Amino acid sequence: MSKKVAVVTGANKGIGLAIVRELCKAKFTGDVILTARNEKLGNEAVKMLKSEGFEVSYHHLDICDQGSAKQLNDATETFGEQAEVTMRTNFWGTLWVCHALLPLLRPNARVVNVSSFVSKKALDTCSPQLQAKFRDTELSEEELCLLMGQFVIAAQQGNHQAQGWPNTAYGTTKIGVTVLSRIQAHFLTKTRAADGILLNACCPGWVRTDMAGSKAHKSPEEGAQTPTYLALLPDGMKEPHGQLVWDKTVQEW
């Protein structure tokens, strides 16, 4: 557990939700726990905040129920635990699938890895040293994997920010996906230059899904536009390749 913990009650909406968001914006150096009586609404609020790049965990709490209050005492998830699970899902899962499928690609294949605009926001809050590493076009996949592992260890030790990492597990894992896509594209250009394969990372945007909640700006159909655009790039095109694309536009990394 981090040295500091912020527990916000009644935080699935209204003032409570606003307090959670402001704590995250202020880069609160600890665990932020959003509590609510309604589990469904509480989890939806957490998913929405995570899609905005904030690290928040949910715990059920009915302040009118003494037993509910006692359960909160020993059931909180640490940032280190969040980091490990999120890294396994977003970065390692993507890496493992790519290792299995990239050797099977045919000429003119298209690969689209789903990243997020949060990766760019997280990159901008990294230390200058980490930013330089993640922007290094010669960074290897092995070096990237080591960096992702170092973040999880630092998060578990509670000193990730002191080591120059952003205070977002989701955002850091998406840095990994974006940079992995650049590395994979470089590898394909080097080993299969004549095959016309294009590989990119994309941000679907803030989409109304189980993760982002009902207040997100885009419908699932609108969120599918950029990934589909990249998947259907015509034969013969050479760009975009190894880029982060959002709203069908290449983003500066």
Q: With contact defined as beta carbons under 8 Å apart, do 152 and 84 qualify?
A: yes
The active-site residue, picked from 170, 176, 223, 226, is: 170
Q: With contact defined as beta carbons under 8 Å apart, do 233 and 110 qualify?
A: yes
CB atoms within 10 A of CB 110: 17
Q: With contact defined as beta carbons under 8 Å apart, do 75 and 59 qualify?
A: yes
Q: With contact defined as beta carbons under 8 Å apart, do 121 and 128 qualify?
A: no
By DSSP bridging, strand 198-203 and strand 244-246 are: parallel
Pick the closest to residue 95 from 185, 179, 177 (CA basis): 177
Q: Is 170 a catalytic residue?
A: yes
Packed helices 141-157 and 169-191: angle between N→C axes, nearest 10 degrees: 170
Q: Which residues are tagged catalytic?
A: 170
